Amino acid sequence: MLNLVKYAVFTATVAIVSFNSIALEYRLPAKGSLLVGENQHYVVPEGKLTLEDIASKFQLGLTNVLEANPGVDPFLPAPGSTLVIPHQLILPNTKLEGIVINVAEMRLYYYPKGTNTVEVLPIGIGQIGRDTPESWVTTVQRKRANPTWTPTATTRKIYEAKGITLPAVWPAGPDNPMGLYALYIGNLFAIHGTNATFGIGLRISQGCIRLRHDDIEHLFNTVPVGTRVEFVNQPVKYTAEPDGNRYLEVHQPLSKTQNEFESNEPVALTFNKETTRFIAHAETDSFVLKRLLEQRTGIPTRINP
């Protein structure tokens, strides 16, 4: 798995309304519910199809597919094998408004005004030491097509250590690391595209939010300036549904010291008071809970009988 990260660095439907190459769009659930969508299964066809190809086909990031299918070969998943496509989600526990970015699951949620829907897009986030914010509320301050890139002094040093000298300003165009569209959300951060064909669903950027070309073009054309943007870090999401079912969705937390693919040691999970109270409920099946906390598949699972 370490080689996967090195390659990424160097290459710099119950509730589903529609599914296409641009975005997954879900109807918002009934009041009191946070569960949307249904999982799918996909049989890998013959041919040299990478997991990135499959993730892109189903509007997922690479980590989303790897979590849901532990042990799968990220370069050449076995033809004839069946993959879980994790399209069922628990919405992040925060305001269902504007853009919500959950860095732990590397997904962006966009709630268009007046539509009663949410669009979900996979993202790449900052490398260790160049971390994407984990708790921050801001707005889309401006948008720009064909952005230029001005590397920071720190970024220039990082590239110089690799023997690469960056220009003071990288000109706009398809070779620009920011891609062809950018939504600026602060002095140092943006939601933007990429000139790479790999890396969505990985910790790969210099701190910004990175999307595939079609996805950032879609956001650029639909998200108004002034839209609220919230960053959260919720590796564990939960919901008590109106029908009495209780679901837990567990992702691998972000490490502060090492890339998750560089070690077999899991990152420790921590719980806030609300999550602790939820999982300590009298109806929780302790066997199912233990399995979820160990496997961390990112798939919502019912934890009460």
Q: Which residues are catalytic?
A: 192, 208
Contact 253, 235 (CB under 8 A): yes
Q: Rounded to the nearest 5°, which phi and psi values hold at 17? A: -80, -45
From the list 136, 115, 302, the residue with the least C-alpha distance to 209 is 136
Give 214's contacts (C-beta < 8 A, 6+ positions apart): 21, 22
CA distance 25 to 120: 6
CA distance 287 to 289: 5
